[in-house]
């Protein structure tokens, strides 16, 4: 629901750079939530994403939308801070998504190395053709 609200708010805002950053944030959030759906053990570590970060972003974008046309210095400064925060949040969310897959990729890489060693040992593969 929160992501849908963020999308709706983003559609009302007339700032192409911010719009693109919000779309990226929503996309990354979707990927994180998909991962959590598939790996329930990760859910507890991502409670803040659902219960705090996304609702706070929704609130900030709502305020941005409400004052978007205003050109008072303080409002312009506040809008800039929201734009910067969305960019920063994108980086943080991408890092979070990558860290969710760290264990999976570590497992895959370990399995590949084990199989390579076995293949080399039983002479099904030469060392120079190892994948890693």
What would the DSSP string read from start to end of the chain?
-HHHHHHHHHHH---HHHHHHHHHHHHHHHHHHHHHHH-GGGTGGGHHIIIIIHHHHHHHHHHHHHHTT---HHHHHHHHHHHHHHHHHHHHHHHHHHHHHHHHHHHHHHHHHHHHHHHHHTTSS-GGG---
State the sign of the Cα–Cα–Cα–Cα dihedral 87, 88, 91, 95.
negative
Q: What is the pTM of this model?
A: 0.76
Give the tens place of pLDDT for each residue, 66-108: 999 998 999 999 999 999 999 999 999 999 888 888 766 656 6
pLDDT of residue 125: 66
Give the tens place of pLDDT for each residue, 26-82: 999 999 989 888 887 777 777 888 889 999 999 999 999 999 999 899 999 999 999
């Amino acid at each position: 629901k929160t992501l849908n609200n963020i999308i709706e708010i983003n559609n009302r805002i007339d700032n192409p750079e911010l719009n693109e950053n919000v779309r990226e944030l929503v996309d990354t959030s979707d990927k994180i939530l998909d991962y959590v759906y598939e790996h329930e053990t990760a859910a507890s570590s991502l409670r803040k994403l659902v219960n705090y970060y996304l609702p706070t972003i929704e609130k900030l974008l709502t305020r941005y939308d409400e004052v978007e046309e205003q050109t008072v210095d303080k409002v312009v400064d506040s809008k800039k801070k929201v734009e910067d925060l969305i960019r920063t949040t994108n980086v943080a969310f991408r890092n979070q998504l990558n860290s969710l897959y760290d264990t999976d990729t570590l497992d895959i890489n370990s399995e590949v190395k084990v199989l390579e060693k076995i293949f080399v040992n039983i002479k099904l593969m030469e060392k120079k053709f190892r994948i890693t």
